[in-house]
Structure 1
Amino acid sequence: MEIKETPLQGVVIIEPKVFGDHRGWFMETYSEVKFKEAGINLVFVQDNHSFSATKGTLRGLHYQLSPKAQSKLVRCTKGAIYDVAVDIRKGSPTYGQWFGIELSAENKKQLLVPKGFAHGFMTLTEEAEVQYKVDELYAPECDRGIMWNDPVIGIKWPMNIQPVLSEKDKDAPILQEADNNFVYGDK
């Protein structure tokens, strides 16, 4: 398992080692020991699995407020997505900046999105499935979002289309107006 830094501190790409032969392949998607060796000390408490039927579906940008904030370990197990993390920690040197990467069933990459970051993805294929581990249970009272096309953040989504959105995501505020209690340096 190879762990690669991104321009956003704490957001990392995880590339599992894939062992294949004439029968197919095997990979380790998570190892507490290897994560701890890399300085990632998370205890995952819930696994989530989403299915999007239509290419161009956009889910996000989502996060949960503290004290129910979630770190997420995201992977795409069918099809492909463009996965995005946005730094929303007030006072951070990268506040409002984003990082995006293609995750797919084919490339088997994963993205770790820590607390203090909003997360979202756009499906690049029909019938995309996304699975992710979280280190805090879902808390609807802390569930928040930011507008997927906030012009100040300026995410360059890979498809220049009007995405398929939920009502919740259509009505999300811009970052400047979002309910947000993350402060850079807080644990």
Structure 2
Amino acid sequence: MQSKALSIPGAWVFEPTRFEDDRGLFVSPYQEAAFVEATGAPLVVAQSNHSVSRRGVIRGVHYADVPPGQAKYVYCPRGALLDIVVDVRVGSPTFGAHEAVVLDAGSYRAVYLSEGLGHAFCALEDDTVASYLCSTPYAPAIERTVSPLDPALALPWPSDLTQVLSDKDSGGPTLAEAAAQGLLPHYLP
């Protein structure tokens, strides 16, 4: 498995080796040894999530209050999605920056984002599956959203797709509004 740190501190991309023959394919999208080597710590898994989205569905930008926060290890076992990590941590050297990675069933590439980072994705195909391992269970009282359409973030959503958002995501505050309301986590180097 190959790994690479993204430009946002606390985020990495992982690409596993695929083993194919006339029977089909074997791949291991998460490998603890490679994860620890890249990040310096093991991934604690408290919950796994699985979503299915039609083409054009945007989910996010989601994050959780820190502490406890929620780290995520995300991959796409079916279809394709544009996965975006957004630095919503006040005081971070990359505050407001984002990095986008295509995750798809052809590469089984994965993205890891540590606690305090925002996460969003857009399904590029119908019936796209996002599967992610989470460090803490879902806790609605500490879940937060920043608008994925915030013009200041300028997230690279595909222009050829009809965007479909939940009421929660479409009604989320901008990054500046969330900061003014004290809703953002703080960067801890």
Counterpart of 1:182 in 2: which secondary structure?
coil
Q: Tell me, in whole angstroms, the C-alpha distance in 2 between the residues paired with 1:74 and 1:101.
A: 11
Check conservation: 1:77, 1:129, Cα contact below 8 A: yes
- 1:41 is displaced (CA, Å) by 2.8
Q: Tell me, in whole angstroms, the C-alpha distance in 2 between the residues paired with 1:59 and 1:151.
A: 17
Question: Which residue is 2:187 aligned to?
Answer: 184
Residue ranges of structure 1 left out of the alignment (5+ in a row): none
Q: Tell me, in whole angstroms, the C-alpha distance in 2 between the residues paired with 1:79 and 1:30.
A: 18
Check conservation: 1:45, 1:136, Cα contact below 8 A: yes
Q: Tell me, in whole angstroms, the C-alpha distance in 1 between the residues paired with 2:137 and 2:27.
A: 26
Q: Tell me, in whole angstroms, the C-alpha distance in 2 between the residues paired with 1:161 and 1:34.
A: 35
Alignment map for 1:13-162 (pairs within 5 Å): 13-38=13-38, 39-52=40-53, 54-162=54-162
Q: Deviations over 1:8-32 (max 9, x none)?
A: 1121110001111111111122222
- 1:44 is displaced (CA, Å) by 1.1
Larger mean CA deviation between 85-94 and 37-46 belongs to 37-46
Question: Which residue is 2:164 aligned to?
Answer: 164
Larger mean CA deviation between 174-183 and 18-27 belongs to 174-183
Check conservation: 1:68, 1:137, Cα contact below 8 A: no
Q: Tell me, in whole angstroms, the C-alpha distance in 1 between the residues paired with 2:172 and 2:162.
A: 16
- 1:67 is displaced (CA, Å) by 2.1
- 1:162 is displaced (CA, Å) by 4.4
Q: Tell me, in whole angstroms, the C-alpha distance in 1 between the residues paired with 2:95 and 2:64.
A: 17
Check conservation: 1:19, 1:27, Cα contact below 8 A: yes
Report how many residues are paired. 185
- 1:159 is displaced (CA, Å) by 2.9
**Identity of matched residues, %:** 37
- 1:181 is displaced (CA, Å) by 4.2
Check conservation: 1:147, 1:175, Cα contact below 8 A: yes
Check conservation: 1:58, 1:122, Cα contact below 8 A: yes
Counterpart of 2:168 in 1: which secondary structure?
helix
* Aligned alpha-carbon RMSD (Å): 1.4
Check conservation: 2:72, 2:113, Cα contact below 8 A: yes
Check conservation: 2:63, 2:119, Cα contact below 8 A: yes
Q: Tell me, in whole angstroms, the C-alpha distance in 2 between the residues paired with 1:32 and 1:14.
A: 11
Check conservation: 2:29, 2:75, Cα contact below 8 A: no
Q: Tell me, in whole angstroms, the C-alpha distance in 2 between the residues paired with 1:146 and 1:181.
A: 9
